[in-house]
Chains A and B, each alone.
Chain A
Amino acid sequence: MKKVPIEYQISPYMVFFLVNSMQIGVGLLGFERISAKLAGNDAWISTLLSGLSINVMIWMIYKILNQGKGNIVAIHHDVFGKWIGGAFSLIFLFYLLVTGATILRTYIEVVQVWMFSIMPTWILVGIFLILCYYIVSGGFRVVAGICFFGVLLPSTLAFTFFFPLQFADFRNLFPIMQHSFKEIIKGMQGNLFSYFGFETLLVYYTFIKNPKKSQKFAHYGALVTTAVYTYLMILSLVFFSEKQLASAIWAYLSMSKIIQFSFIERFEYILISFWAFVILPNVVLTLWGVSRGMRETFGMKQKYILPILILFIFILTILLDDRNKVNLISTWVGKSGFIIVYIYLPVLWLIQSLQIKFRRQT
């Protein structure tokens, strides 16, 4: 495994932005609904629990990466050998790619529903993908820069989190813990998918200067996400009545409809447009991660892989032409993410640790 030259690497603190920007995405606009359906007014507890469990997973990912030499592709190669390891890597990369496509498609759907109802999907996707190509072809530092600004610029929108409080009815939260523990765990299903994306860490790990130092920043990033999601969950619980929330597809956007200034009405249009800055890191980092992973698996140059990947996303997003299909693939991605993060990675860790122990003994 060739070492990544230092001029391509990023400082450890950047991991905060990479993790955070990957987690906050299109999920923020509407993750509340399913959780609220499953866990009612205790949904915020499930959101909090999900966030904490994600931190445990980040800790585990660092264990895996620190033990292994290199990123997930190299580790797969080490643990399973060339062929099986390669196959596993490809499955993982495919999952990442589909995640990216799903995020993009979901955002485009929001744009179509709220702003441009007759705009064909392929145009919006096309413009986005051109932008993505321009970013990814700038190398990892540019991708990381987009992630950085993808956190920094939208964080100016944080004030929108406080507007709905004027209509908040905190009585909605009570009585707390009315729902059974099982229901709360079930409620985690609804929001876990929104937390995913941090697993790209498995790919860009080798691009971090002092990767061991970066772990705390990854945790900070995930904790900020947890705080934001939990806050938003509480906010939408107190803002909406329960049935209303269960029927709101994009709860956050519906909430932002009440934001009004004397010089601008209907702030949600600005919010949706600005959300492109939040979506961009998600798509760009997955694209970069997949192309990098493929490069390491096949030994091809990223320059040649990237157009193929972009074409794949382009076609996939066009094929997803109605709400049902988008929902279907979202569920699929959520489930695969769950399997990969919560089942496969612990298993991988176990096998890897055993192997290392075994090798040491012999």
Chain B
Amino acid sequence: MEREGITAMKSHEKKPVNPAKSIDSLQGLFQILKKSKDFITLSPPFNSLSIRISYFRTLVDANILHQDVLSYLSGRSFSSLQDVQAVLSFGTSKVTEQVEVIQKSVLNGYILIQLNESDSSCLLIDISKIEGRDITKPEIEFNILAPKLAFVEKLDTNLNLLRRKLLTPYLRVEQLEVGYLSNTAVAVVYIEGIANDQNVKEIIKRVSSIETDHVFDSSYLVRTIVDNPNSMFQQFISTERPDRVAAILAEGKIALLVDGSPFVITLPTTLIEFFSTAEDYSIPWIVASFFRALRVFSVLFSVLTTPLYVAIITYHYELIPKELLETLVVSRSKIPFPPVIEALVLEVVIELLREAGARLPTKVGLTVGIVGGIVIGQAAVEASLTSNVLIIIIALSALASFTTPIYSMGNTIRVIRFPFIFAAQLLGLLGIVIASAFLLTHLLRTKSLGRPYLSPFYPTRLSDWKDSIIRMPLISMNRRPLAASAKQPIRFNSEKAKKNRTSPRSDFDD
């Protein structure tokens, strides 16, 4: 008996405290809500009935309350809540007895109208006021030749932006709630008939099985449901651009919108998607391909140059050509540290500058950059603490890491440099190769919503290569990427598109 008692107690302790669940009557709810100062209960004196209106002062629009609710109620008498509902012509109003619904609605800015204090059924009317900022330009994913709209924190506004981009009845929005404290609204958006049903089911299953108290951002939410949470590589794309989300939805992928977050998550994704921008599709394909390739190259450059410097200077001096030998030896000659320490110190300094710049307001951040870049760099070289060759290398590789359009991928790239530097110190060039093999294996093992991350390279989908490192002409993309495993793979009729294209003829063709 005693034992059982103990185990029961233990299991009780482990359970998360979830006060909301314990409320089962309207009375109980009122008792809890009344403890808050901003919860108001009115019993207007203007009519004989004991009508009672309750709401959160901070959540409702006082103007609407006064003009459209109280003024209509005064001087009338009602026999039922349906009468009240008929008088107050609001779109979203409902009569219910369910405590859970009542609780949720009140917390969302509904007013609660009861005819009698003891009535268990009540009328709920939405006059909520949501504070938030206006729509602004995208700041993190800035594009020059693309729409200049970014998502904001309001879910409804975001959905509005999205619906405006895709005026189709098949755009489906499924709404879920996550977090027993925050009760955050999460919208799963996809295009019915194009998105893969299995993916949709999987994502809804994963979102609804989240166990947490509150959610403050979309990336926070998704971190808990990705395939491999220990991976440094994001297995989803978080973007602030409605145009990008619309394009991704049209490919047959799924978007997740979280209330309170200006970032929309799209799934499944592939590694190469992180290097594409909306702009790529609005400039000529040869130019776009060049920039794509440049971005991919810059990743390799950013990850590999510092380790290569460490490896070659530490172990493989044979590789240095005659002309460069002098420069390298001279720049290294007075430096007291081994190359690896030199490189690590400088890498950390660059990271410090970046972090400081990111945390400070824009104007001060600029100063930090100047101070760090010019003053510290110059002084370090003059004091023979670092070689100027390495400063060039590290500055360039930091620059290269900023070319990735998706911010968080840039962070990943900067972090994976460090294991590479250690590997280079350990085994020289061989160490770099082994570290690359580890990275490659990791990418091979990573999956996004159960789909391979390295697609279209492995598993090889040659038809997807036309929108990977290069971007082929838009007319060739008549099929949706296989990586999205869309239900309807054909995007448009390429034959028709080709026929409709008007190209000028010359005498050569006739």
Contact = CB atoms under 8 A, between A and B. Distances in A.
Any A–B CB pair closer than 8 Å: yes
Interface of A: 10-11, 13-14, 111, 115-116, 119, 124, 127-128, 131, 134-135, 138, 141-142, 145-146, 148-149, 261-266, 269-270, 272-274, 276-277, 280
Interface string B437-459: 11011001100000000100011
B268 to A, nearest CB: 15
28 contacts: A11-B459, A11-B460, A13-B460, A115-B315, A115-B428, A115-B429, A116-B315, A116-B430, A124-B427, A131-B434, A131-B441, A134-B438, A134-B441, A141-B444, A142-B441, A142-B445, A145-B440, A148-B458, A149-B458, A261-B321, A263-B324, A264-B321, A269-B318, A269-B429, A270-B429, A272-B430, A276-B430, A277-B433
Given A269-B319, A270-B429, A145 B444 contact: yes
Interface string B398-418: 000000000000000000000
Query: Which of B315, B318, B437 has the most C-beta atoms of chain A within 10 angstroms of its own C-beta?
Result: B437
B318 A273 contact: no
For chain B, give the interface size range. 20 to 34
Contact of A276 (B433, B454, B458, B460): B433
B334 interface: no
A65 to B, nearest CB: 23
A118 to B, nearest CB: 12
Given A269-B319, A276-B434, A127 B427 contact: yes
A13 to B, nearest CB: 7
B320 A265 contact: yes
Nearest to A10: B459
A135 B324 contact: no
A353 to B, nearest CB: 35
Given A116-B428, A270-B429, A265 B444 contact: no
A152 to B, nearest CB: 8
Interface string B448-489: 000000100011100000000000000000000000000000
A127 B441 contact: no
Interface in B418-438: 427-430, 432-434, 437-438
Given A131-B441, A265-B319, A273-B432, A145 B427 contact: no
Contacts of B498: none
Nearest to B428: A115
Contacts of B444: 135, 138, 141-142, 145-146
Contacts of B321: 261-265
A142 B459 CA distance: 10
B316 interface: yes
Given A262-B321, A266-B319, A138 B430 contact: no
A57 to B, nearest CB: 27
Contacts of B458: 145, 148-149
Contacts of B428: 115-116, 273
Given A145-B454, A269-B318, A115 B437 contact: no
A148 B445 contact: no
A222 to B, nearest CB: 20
Nearest to B435: A131
Contacts of A11: 459-460
Given A11-B459, A149-B458, A270 B430 contact: no
Contact of B437 (A10, A148, A276): A276
Contact of A269 (B316, B324, B427, B440): B316
A10 B433 CA distance: 26
Contacts of B315: 115-116
Contacts of A148: 458, 460
B445 to A, nearest CB: 4
Given A111-B430, A128-B434, 6 more contacts: A116-B315, A127-B434, A145-B444, A265-B318, A265-B322, A277-B433
Contacts of B323: 262
Nearest to A149: B440
A119 B430 CA distance: 12
A138 B432 contact: no
Nearest to B438: A131
Nearest to A119: B427
Contacts of B430: 111, 115-116, 272-273, 276
B319 A277 contact: no
Contacts of A149: 440, 458
B314 to A, nearest CB: 12
Contacts of A146: 437, 440-441, 444
Nearest to A276: B433
What 6 pairs across the A-B complex have the smallest Cβ distances?
A273-B429, A145-B444, A138-B445, A273-B430, A266-B318, A276-B433
Contacts of A14: 459
Given A131-B438, A131-B441, A142-B445, A273 B319 contact: no
Interface in B369-389: none
Nearest to A265: B321
Nearest to A143: B444
B433 A135 contact: no
A145 B438 CA distance: 13
